[in-house]
Amino acid sequence: MLEANYLVIGSGVAGLTFSVKIAEKFPDCSVVIVTKDAEDESNTKYAQGGMAVVQNKEEDSFKKHIDDTLIAGDGLCDEEVVKMVIEEGPQRLKELIQWGANFDEDSTGNLDLGKEGGHSEYRVVHHKDLTGAEVERTLLKRVHQLPNITLLPHHFAIDLITNHQIKGTDESDISCYGAYVLNEKSGEIFTVKANATLLASGGIGCVYGHTTNPVIATGDGVAMAYRAKARIRDMEFVQFHPTALYQRKGESAFLISEAVRGFGAYLRNRKGKRFMLDYDDRAELASRDIVSQSIDAEMKKAGDSHVFLDCTHLDMEGFKTHFPTIYNKCLSLHINVEKDWIPVVPASHYLCGGIEVDKSGKTTIENLFACGECSRTGLHGANRLASNSLLEALVYAHNIFKHHCENEYMKLDVVIPEWNDEGTTIPEEHILIRHSLKSLQALMRDYVGIVRSNKRLKRAITHLDVIYKEVEDLYRESKITASLCELRNMINVSHLIIGQSLERKENKGGYFNKDNVKK
């Protein structure tokens, strides 16, 4: 057993920011960070566009950023939360810069601000088209300088430890005591007992297969919290990024940043028509839900697998300066953006719902906190405004840190049983896991995608039940592996998305059900 004052599950911007702050403030306290892949592998690393923070007060204002966020969220944002996050933005950005993060500057030495879909002003701070990777680099460097942080890469959090596992505790008042963790290299499962636990485990993109997220985005935090009986909300609001690079083999997709459309690129169908003008006055700069639904409609009309992004009319030197990674990735696939259109398709990108938290990041379970994409704060409402996610993670990591400065979480006097896997065998059923995963992803894409219907959703429940039963049998009989746990988590997440989709009787933001359209 490992004992810690603070257990952090996830090593993206949310988990690392909290860890750095709490370790600096309390040098005698221990922080354990558990992350299932390499230490720098997270959704943060793939955030290309940047971070929306009001800088130019003459042209921009907090009010404008708040209004843009509320418009994108389509009436379902918590206005107090929106105000808090946006007004704290400049201070949190300043801290990142003090820790050593580099952001692009213009010729006058001021921050070079970008503009993305849904934003009324230039306010997106960026580091070329690799902003998330720069933030991740900065935070990891600081983590390694702090001796009271233990970082455990290639360790998988299997389940939270709550009253359900502990004899003699009151199951009506649930508390979290840490987690059972799998060492992926040795296969050993051990207990991490912690005074407070933070879920900062990222998104759910892999549930859909076609996703801009890395392969680690399997909804582990949401699923663990759900099994522990935490309240989960707004799971129907899955944001699809309109422009992922289309590749025939599918799987995790390379993201063509929204900022490319902000730079002036056009969306065209196979016949070359610039179709966004038919759907919205803002054309390519409409919010993500509208652009995704429009592309989906164009593809269905023509029976096509993708549409195109045309950059051929743009200032190419400027394009190469702003988007070197995108330019080179396209070139590696024999797409020369100077004369070729880029094939693009909507892909699962961001979860706007998740584990319900208050302004201090507290979940409905005592001693359990959540931050970043796995949490539901009320900032995004029905649809996240571009580049608000890194901002949210920084602000909430700081709020959780503040809460811990004001509230001491005492050592928990409970005896936690060891993980028991007696009677299980080492699985030779990798083919079953792979098959069930492919079936699940196809099910979610076909029945629970950008445009849904009650009939498709109900059909999805029937199919999901079959996969669920197969996988639960496998889980009971097998030694634990990360891939089996991930599949189980994705099934839980799919169940939540489908169930909460059926409960929503009104189309809002990123959620569109044909049966909710008023005739």
Task: Name, in order, each residue with C-beta under 8 angstroms of 407's C-beta and a sequence gap of 6 or more.
Answer: none
What gap in Å lies between CA 398 and CA 393, rounded to an integer?
Answer: 8
- Going by C-beta distance under 8 Å and a sequence separation of 6 or more, which residues neighbour residue 104? 111, 112, 126, 127, 128
| Euclidean distance between CA atoms 61 and 179, whole angstroms | 43
137 counts as catalytic: no
Spell out where 153-210 has E strands.
155-162, 176-183, 189-199
Rounded Cα distance between 519 and 507, Å, is 13
**10 Å Cβ neighbour count for 9?**
28
* C-alpha distances out from residue 24 to 9, 12, 143, Å: 19, 18, 10
Gap between the Cα atoms of 59 and 71, Å rounded: 19
> Which candidate in 288, 376, 384, 456 is catalytic?
288
Ramachandran category for residue 372: left, alpha or beta (phi over 0 → left; psi -120 to 50 → alpha)? left
Q: What are phi and psi of 365, to 5 degrees?
A: -110, 135
The alpha-helical segments, DSSP class H, found in 240-386 are 258-262, 288-302, 316-322, 324-332
Looking at residue 366, the DSSP 8-state letter turns out to be B
The rounded distance, in Å, linking the Cα atoms of 180 and 159 is: 6
Distance CA 167, CA 23 (A): 32
Dihedral of alpha carbons 323, 325, 328, 331, sign:
negative
Query: What is the DSSP annotation of 213-282?
Result: S-TT-S-HHHHHHHHTT--EE-TT-EEEEEEEEP-TT-SB--B--HHHHHTT-EEE-TT---GGGGT-TT
CA distance 259 to 318: 13
Beta bridge partners of 376: 356
Strands 189-199, 176-183: pairing kind: antiparallel
Contact 363, 370 (CB under 8 A): yes
Strand order in the sheet with 375-376: 232-233, 354-356, 375-376
> Both tokens of residue 365?
């379970």
Provide the annotated active-site residues. 288
